[in-house]
Each structure stands twice: as C-alpha cells, then as structure tokens.
C-alpha cells in the first residue's frame, strides 16, 4: 500500500508523456491537412511532396504511442478508470494516423491535379473545407486534454457543417462534369479529396465521443448528427 502514491505519480507522468505525443501527432496532422490544401490551391508540388513524405513522422508517433501504452499497461497495472484512459489514447492515435493518411492522399492527388486544367473555385472550396475540419480536430484534441465534455459535444454538432459543405461541393463538381466531360477526371480527383477531408471530420468527431466517454463514463446516447452525406457511388 505504501507504494500506491508512487505508482500513481509514475502513471501520471507516463500519461502526460503519451498525451504530449498525441498533441504532437495532432499538430502534424493539422499542418499536413492545411499544407496539402494550400498545395492544391497554389499548385505547389514541392509543398505537396513535403506533406506526402511527412506522413512517416505521423506513423512513427503512432508506433511510439502504442509502445508506450503497452509498457504502461504492463508495468503500472492501471485501475479500470486509468486503463480506459490508456485505451482511449491508443484509439485517438489510430484515428490521427488515418487522418494523416487522408492528408497524404490529398497531397498526392494535388500533384496530379496540378497537371490538369483547374476547376474554377474548387481549390478555394477544398481549402475552406480543410480549414473547417482542422478546427474540429484541434478542438477535439483540446477537449481531450481538458476532459471537456461540452467542447467535445460542440465538435460533434459542428461536424454537420462539414457534411453540408461536402454535399455542396459534390453538387458543384457534378455540374462541372455534366457541362463538360473533359472535367470528369479532375472532378473525380477533387471529389475524393473532399471525401477524405470529410472523413477527417468523422475522425475528429470520433475523438470527441471518446472524450465524452472519458469525462462522463458513457458514450453519447444520440447518434452523431449527419447531413445526408452523398456516397461515392453517386458519381
């Protein structure tokens, strides 16, 4: 029993370390998403390639988080509540890694699109959508650090704005394809970019739901608000 305070302090230090890794991952993902959208908007292949190559750092951080969490579980024998925190950290790391993959895919498609005739207004819309999703991701991670269920719920509600913007962008691309078949290839790439950004928003919402679980002990009762996101099969 005399060792319990020491064990608790050691666990807290370990948790702070992995949370710092999570925030580092989040910062890299936010930057990758923003830079990829900027690369598309400015036709900057060098920046796009930087994003593509930078995904390795995000993957490496996920590996570090998982290794550290496994070590904590093995050495600290965390209580049920603490174990829930560690497992949540691993889930968040996995979600961020997927977000990094989506940003990398955006960058790769930006390089391809830079060889094609631009679709008027598309890059601006993609940039706007990426900025909105980046804010969702930032707020979800801030909510995680603060264990702020109210901010996490706000993220869940705001994801509907991302869905609405995605639907609007999809319809614009569809119009361009119908008006001129030569736009089909570029619009298909743009559509998949928009879909990837929408999925980053879904991961941000997933992080927010994990925060609510950590803060309250229960997942949200209501399904997350959606705005009838159009499927890829509708193109």
Distance CA 65, CA 87 (A): 11
Q: Are 192 and 109 in contact (CB under 8 A)?
A: yes
Residue 29 token pair: 């993902």
pLDDT tens, position by position, 168-182: 999 999 999 999 999
User: Which has more confidence, 138 or 234?
Assistant: 138
In angstroms, the Cα distances linking 189 to 26, 53, 170, 212, 220 are 25, 20, 11, 35, 35
Q: What confidence tier does 226 reach under pLDDT thresholds 50, 70, 90?
A: low
CATH number for 186: 1.20.58.220
DSSP letters along 135-193, please?
Answer: HHHHHHHHHHHHT-HHHHHHHHHHHHHHHHHHHHHHHHHHHHHHH-GGGHHHHHHHHHH
Domain count, the chain: 1
| Confidence check: pLDDT of 232 > 80 | no
Q: What confidence tier does 221 reach under pLDDT thresholds 50, 70, 90?
A: confident
| Confidence check: pLDDT of 58 > 70 | yes
- DSSP 3-state of 94: helix
Q: Which domain holds residue 150?
A: 4-234
Residue range 190-208: average pLDDT?
Answer: 96
| pTM of the model as a whole | 0.88
Residue 78: alpha-carbon gap to chain centroid: 28
Q: What confidence tier does 233 reach under pLDDT thresholds 50, 70, 90?
A: very low
Residue range 145-152: average pLDDT?
Answer: 95
User: Which has more confidence, 1 or 186?
Assistant: 186
Mean pLDDT of the chain: 90
Q: Are 152 and 209 in contact (CB under 8 A)?
A: yes
């Amino acid at each position: 029993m005399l060792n319990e305070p020491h064990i608790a302090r050691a666990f807290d230090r370990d948790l702070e370390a992995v949370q710092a890794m999570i925030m580092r991952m989040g910062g890299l993902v936010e930057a990758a998403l923003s830079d990829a959208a900027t690369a598309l908007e400015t036709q900057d292949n060098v920046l796009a390639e930087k994003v593509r190559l930078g995904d390795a750092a995000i993957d490496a951080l996920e590996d570090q988080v998982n290794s550290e969490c496994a070590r904590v579980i093995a050495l600290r024998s965390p209580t049920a509540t603490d174990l829930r925190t560690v497992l949540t950290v691993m889930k968040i790391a996995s979600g961020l890694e997927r977000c990094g993959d989506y940003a990398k895919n955006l960058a790769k498609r930006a390089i391809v699109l830079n060889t094609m005739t631009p679709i008027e207004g598309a890059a601006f819309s993609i940039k706007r959508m990426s900025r909105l999703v980046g804010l969702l991701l930032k707020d979800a991670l801030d909510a995680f650090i603060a264990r702020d269920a109210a901010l996490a719920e706000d993220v869940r509600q705001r994801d509907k704005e991302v869905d609405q913007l995605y639907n609007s962008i999809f319809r614009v691309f569809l119009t361009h394809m119908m008006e001129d078949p030569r736009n089909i290839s570029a619009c298909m790439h743009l559509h998949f970019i928009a879909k990837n950004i929408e999925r980053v928003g879904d991961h941000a919402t997933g992080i927010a739901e994990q925060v609510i679980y950590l803060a309250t002990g229960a997942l949200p009762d209501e399904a997350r608000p959606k705005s009838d996101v159009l499927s890829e099969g509708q193109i």
